[in-house]
Amino acid sequence: MAFIKNAWYVASWTHDLKDEPLPQTILNEKIVLWRGEDGVVRAAEDVCPHRFLPLSKGRIAGNDIQCGYHGLIFNGNGECVRAPTQLIRPDCRIREYPVFETMGMVWIWMGDTAIADISEIYDLPQYHQTEWGVAFGDALDVEANYLLLCDNLCDPTHVNYVHPSTLGNPEGINAPVTHESTSWGVVTERLTVDSAPTGFVAAFGGHNGRVDMWQRYLMYLPSVSIIDFGATAAGTGNWQEGGDARIQVYSCHFMTPVTETRTIDRWLHVRNFEPDDQAVGENISEQFRIAFAEDKEILEAVQKEETVHEGRLKIGLDLDASAGLFRLKINRLLKGETPNQSAK
Amino acid sequence: MAFIKNAWYVASWTHDLKDEPLPQTILNEKIVLWRGEDGVVRAAEDVCPHRFLPLSKGRIAGNDIQCGYHGLIFNGNGECVRAPTQLIRPDCRIREYPVFETMGMVWIWMGDTAIADISEIYDLPQYHQTEWGVAFGDALDVEANYLLLCDNLCDPTHVNYVHPSTLGNPEGINAPVTHESTSWGVVTERLTVDSAPTGFVAAFGGHNGRVDMWQRYLMYLPSVSIIDFGATAAGTGNWQEGGDARIQVYSCHFMTPVTETRTIDRWLHVRNFEPDDQAVGENISEQFRIAFAEDKEILEAVQKEETVHEGRLKIGLDLDASAGLFRLKINRLLKGETPNQSAK
Amino acid sequence: MAFIKNAWYVASWTHDLKDEPLPQTILNEKIVLWRGEDGVVRAAEDVCPHRFLPLSKGRIAGNDIQCGYHGLIFNGNGECVRAPTQLIRPDCRIREYPVFETMGMVWIWMGDTAIADISEIYDLPQYHQTEWGVAFGDALDVEANYLLLCDNLCDPTHVNYVHPSTLGNPEGINAPVTHESTSWGVVTERLTVDSAPTGFVAAFGGHNGRVDMWQRYLMYLPSVSIIDFGATAAGTGNWQEGGDARIQVYSCHFMTPVTETRTIDRWLHVRNFEPDDQAVGENISEQFRIAFAEDKEILEAVQKEETVHEGRLKIGLDLDASAGLFRLKINRLLKGETPNQSAK
Ligand code: FES
Ligand code: FES
Ligand code: FES
């Protein structure tokens, strides 16, 4: 299976890059990231072209990186700038990768460097606004293809079965799900009107009476998911307007394919209440942590069975429509990246 | 290597099936077992046909089983009886397996359901008689093909080399071994006349003087082994008659092939002395536990070497005759199940 | 990749062979070693030809070895000398291997037994002399091909990058390296004249002033490495002569290929100072232990990448010359052992 190359992926948290080189596998490529003494992050192929020791086994030398075996030094453009006991060979170089830091993360461009454009990096405006509180979660390591995670993040139906005790809402089981194609991906929506509050909404919104709740799954190509959910007192407004005692959370997933069967899901959330109380943020993260572990278990099991039942036809259900549309868009992008193959 | 399909195998202990679905791999097939709220055990293919999540990751719903991802419900006939947010698709079904409980175990029929006949399940009459005591052992997980276990259970010779300190009898090393073909398998016998008692016979039979001892290995097709062994005071009777201070034990192995190189051996024993004293039963089981762990080590080592030395000719010994006959019968059964191949 | 067969390799430490059979994999061959009750070490193929149980799972019987499954007994020539309950089959035999003990190690000949000659076993004269002290190190298990270890042991350049805090000498970074072809392999030399002492030389030689230091890497075909290193007060002599406060160490590596990607490196050292003080020996070994663990990490990383980057061209550096020559000699020996292939 191919990956979309001409895209920005999250390579690490900003706080993971200190004074040691950091190895990461992204789209099956082994990459070393390091922060120079000037504070700027750089990325290159994680291999010394001499004897193939990963450069991440070496050390940062100023703004450059030095191999830990015989001391070759490479700069952020992948050029060898020093060789021990001899002159530099001009063919001694490795692949570099454009990187950029924003939203507490290091983003990497995996495709053609000539068209890397940092304005295309996903941005959530609320992340930067002081009325909103940010809480960083974990880098969840899931042994499953990233599209299985995307399926899950296009599908509100699973919530009641996978997360019955945390995010589920028995009253909402039959609430209608709709979806819509956008220029950047797919939005899937479930509005639950005049319902008892879920545990989450009761705990963090202080709602005891009936509420209107929304879940909007914004799935951005190729692998950023923003789940916009919240509640207001029943009949006082909806997700677009105001509403009494309105609480709103953006639960954000930045998924980085490692291999065909492994994905790192770095997640954080942004909320419209008690923005400065870190304990509230951590409390919400703890709820998410439990729920995402439930997803992980399901997704890893499904991944394993995909191999076992290779070639077996799946039974399709109505609830697959949104995820199916997202996969269609992924395939179109893939074809665009491999013109020869699409011409066949 | 093929397995015999038209046969009953043990799928689990009765006491393993409570209020959670139980996944088991049998003859390379992944199966889910569950006990409905009516107390009846059911079995089906362990896969949801929607996205292939194993149904064993879901939950029991009444007498049915519900998928843990999007909530599809299947009954014991493998039919989908409820789908969330839509009508049931008639093609949404999975394979069912006939099951039956007896002798504290759940038995499963792996072949053509049309010819499943519970009267063919192996039964040991003494298991049900009050003068005999029953003790359940373990589900021993052995990384070896089930036929390597069967070889071992047709062969009294190994006892002195593999179990020198537990079941072995140095005086019996040259006692003659005979075997006999039966309609249901093979019996291998070793009678040791007028010998010092083995440690087991001394400990549990109270024998200090000379004894006559018998070991009868009853190997039933395809994979049930009953070892009938015991002792009487020398010259007072044999295994068929009475004899002074006669002790007799049926050591029973119910072997379930998991894969070509893995077998679960569920074992128990039935004895003719102190039938109601559980401590005696557990004491004997503890002896067996040590001995079977010795077998496991040998069999797993042999299994590994079979792969290493694939194609290398083995040296045959006289002691292989009984196991060889059993394997011949297995091969005949296999040919009977695959008529096209046997016609070649 | 082929191995050189007609050569002596170290199979174990002398002190590892007591009253249990010892399994070892050497050049991909599974071998059992045992010491008979006469004190003589024997070696044979580690497999019983009956059902393929490794003989190392059995026991020593006098000077012979007995299978742990059905009791076949084999002597040191690989002949079956006893079979239970029957006569011996003349075709029941296994491969034997010539072995010899010297320098605290058991050596094994892996090739044509007809030409095994113990006078070809590597010997270090100083090992046997009382003015020199011997200290045994460990059997270092490295997940890398033995030639990657040989590369490392032909290359003084890596010391400053891999062992900066133990064996490295920043002043010596630009000291010239020379190498020379010999009848038995390759010698690589680095002389560092009039330098500050390394940590090692200061600690064990008591040198505070300027020193002349030498490192001579003697790499013997196919896999013995002797690193002769030492120091004298600057200008008073060199490695061939005397010199004030001269200290000299032979750091010896006996490398046994296990598989294409695994090597056991048994190491010891011989020193010209405080020969009878075991604490000094162990103190030096402890320094080596730290350094060799650093090598192991690098070599295992390089081995992994060799697979990842299979077929990718390496950038050559001047420092590769000596290791390259050694590999050339290995290839010539390999061709000599496979005449048909070299004729192509
Ligand atoms: S492997 Fe990097 S410098 Fe040699
Ligand atoms: S995977 Fe079972 S209902 Fe979807
Ligand atoms: S396997 Fe060695 S004697 Fe049977």
Report whether pLDDT(A18) > 70.
yes
Strands of the C185-195 sheet, one edge to the other: C133-142, C262-271, C247-259, C224-233, C211-220, C185-195, C177-181
Q: How confident is residue A338, by pLDDT bands cut at 50, 70 and 90?
A: confident
Question: For chain C, what percent of residues have pLDDT higher than 70?
Answer: 95
Question: Which of B298, B300, B308 has the highest number of chain C CBs within 10 A, making it the mutation to test binding with C?
Answer: B298
pLDDT score at C343: 38
* CB distance B92 to ligand 2 below 6 Å: no
CB A57 to CB C298 under 8 A?
yes
How far is C7 from C117, CA to CA, in rounded Å? 9
Mean pLDDT confidence for C75-89: 90
Q: Is B305 within 8 Å of C52 when comparing Cβ atoms?
A: yes
Query: CB-CB: which of A30, A69, A84 is closest to C298?
Result: A69
Contacts 24+ apart (CB under 8 A), A171-177: A171/A195, A171/A196, A172/A213, A173/B84, A173/B85, A174/B85, A177/A319, A177/A322, A177/B85
Residue among C52, C57, C86 minimizing CB distance to B317: C86
Residue ranges, comma separated, of all CATH 3.90.380.10 domains in chain B are: 125-336
pLDDT score recorded for residue B332: 96
Q: What is the mean pLDDT of residues B92-107?
A: 97
Nearest atom in ligand 3 to the alpha carbon of residue C67 is 2
Of C215, C157, C170, which is closest to residue A50 (Cα–Cα)? C157
Give the mean pLDDT of B196-214.
Answer: 91
**For residue range A303-327, what is the model confidence (pLDDT) as tens digits?**
999 999 999 999 999 999 999 999 9
Arithmetic mean of pLDDT, B26-36? 98
The mean predicted confidence, pLDDT, of chain B is 93
Residue B203 scores a pLDDT above 70: yes
Rounded Cα gap, residues B321 and C200, in angstroms: 67
Asked if C174 has any chain A CB less than 8 Å from its own CB, the reply is yes
Distances (CA, A) of B51 to A154, B54, B85, B257: 14, 9, 16, 27
Please report residues of C whose CB lies closer than 8 A to that of A29.
none
pLDDT of residue C173: 65
Ligand 3 proximity of C55 Cβ (cutoff 6 Å)? no
Residue ranges of chain C assigned to CATH 3.90.380.10: 123-336
Is the confidence at residue A43, as pLDDT, over 80? yes
Residue A340 has pLDDT above 70, yes or no: no
Q: Which regions of chain C carry the CATH code 2.102.10.10?
A: 8-119
Does C307 lie at the interface with A, CB-CB under 8 angstroms? no
C310 inside 8 A of chain A by CB: no
- Report the DSSP beta bridge partners of residue B174: none
Cβ contact C173–A84 (<8 Å): yes
What digits encode the pLDDT tens for the residues B256-308? 999 999 999 999 999 999 999 999 999 999 999 999 999 999 999 999 999 99
Categorize the per-residue pLDDT at C64 as very low, low, confident or very high, splitting at 50, 70 and 90: very high
The predicted pLDDT at position B339 comes to 62
Burial C258-290 (b: 16+ CB within 10 A, else e): bebbbbbbbbbbbbbbebeeeebbeebbebbee
What is the pLDDT, as a whole number, of residue A85? 75
- Whether pLDDT at C41 is above 60: yes
Reply yes or no on whether the pLDDT at C186 is more than 50.
yes
By percentage, how much of chain A surpasses pLDDT 70?
95
Give B68→chain A minimum CA distance, Å.
6
Q: What is the mean pLDDT of residues B101-121?
A: 97
Q: Is the CB of B70 under 6 A from ligand 2?
A: yes
Q: What is the DSSP string of B267-296?
A: EEEEESSSTT-HHHHHHHHHHHHHHHHHHH
- Residue pointed to by tokens 């979806």: A179
Whole-number Å distance, alpha carbon C134 to ligand 2 midpoint, is 68
Q: Domain B8-119 classified CATH 2.102.10.10?
A: yes
For residue A222, cis peptide bond before it (omega within 30 degrees of 0): yes
Q: Please say if the pLDDT value at position A344 is more than 60.
A: no
* pLDDT digit string, tens, across residues A78-99: 999 999 878 888 899 999 999 9
Could you tell me the end-to-end alpha-carbon distance of chain C, in angstroms, rounded to an integer?
17
pLDDT single digits (tens) A146-172: 999 999 999 998 988 998 876 666 666
As a whole number, mean pLDDT of residues A129-139 equals: 97
Residue B173 confidence (pLDDT) above 80: no
B47 lines ligand 2 (CB under 6 A): no
Q: Report the distance separating Cα B332 and Cα B222, nearest Å.
A: 11
Pick the residue with more confidence: B128 or C167? B128
Q: Which two three-digit tokens encode residue B171?
A: 């005086």
Higher pLDDT, A84 or B335: B335
Task: Dump the DSSP string for A34-88.
Answer: EE-TTS-EEEEES--TTT---GGGSEEETTEEE-TTT--EE-TTSBEEE-TTSPP
| Among chain A residues, CA nearest to C302 | A53
pLDDT recorded at residue C339? 62
List CB contacts (< 8 A) between A89 and chain C.
Answer: 315, 317
| CATH architecture of residue range(s) C123-336 | Alpha-Beta Complex (3.90)
Residue A343 or residue C120, greater confidence: C120
Domain B125-336: state its class: alpha beta
Do the beta carbons of residue B195 and residue B210 sit within 8 Å?
yes
- What does the pLDDT read at residue A4? 97
pLDDT confidence bin for B162, thresholds 50/70/90: very high
pLDDT in tens, A212-252: 999 999 999 999 999 999 999 999 976 677 888 999 999 99
**Predicted confidence (pLDDT) at residue A342 exceeds the cutoff of 60:** no
- pLDDT value at residue B171: 66
Ligand 2 atom at minimum distance from B84 CA: 3
Q: Which residues numbered 53-112 in C keep a CB inside 8 Å of some CB on B?
A: 53-54, 57-58, 66-71, 83-86, 89, 91-92
pLDDT for the residue A165: 75
CB atoms closer than 10 angstroms to residue C183: 5
Query: Which chains lie within 8 Å of chain C at 3 or more CB pairs, if any?
Result: A, B
pLDDT tens, position by position, C214-266: 999 999 999 999 999 999 999 997 667 788 899 999 999 999 999 999 999 99
Lowest mean pLDDT across A17-21, C12-16, C163-167 = C163-167
- Count B/C contacts: CB-CB distance under 8 Å: 68
What is the reported pLDDT for C341? 44
Out of A234-243, B194-203, C66-75, C164-173, pick the least confident.
C164-173
* C residues 314-343 closer than 8 Å to B (CB): none
Q: Is any atom of ligand 1 closer than 6 Å to the C-beta of A48?
A: yes
Residue B228 near residue B243, CB atoms below 8 Å: no
Tell the residue number behind the tokens 């290929």, with chain if given.
C257
DSSP string of B176-211? -EEEEE-SSEEEEEEEEEEEPPPHHHHHHH---S-E
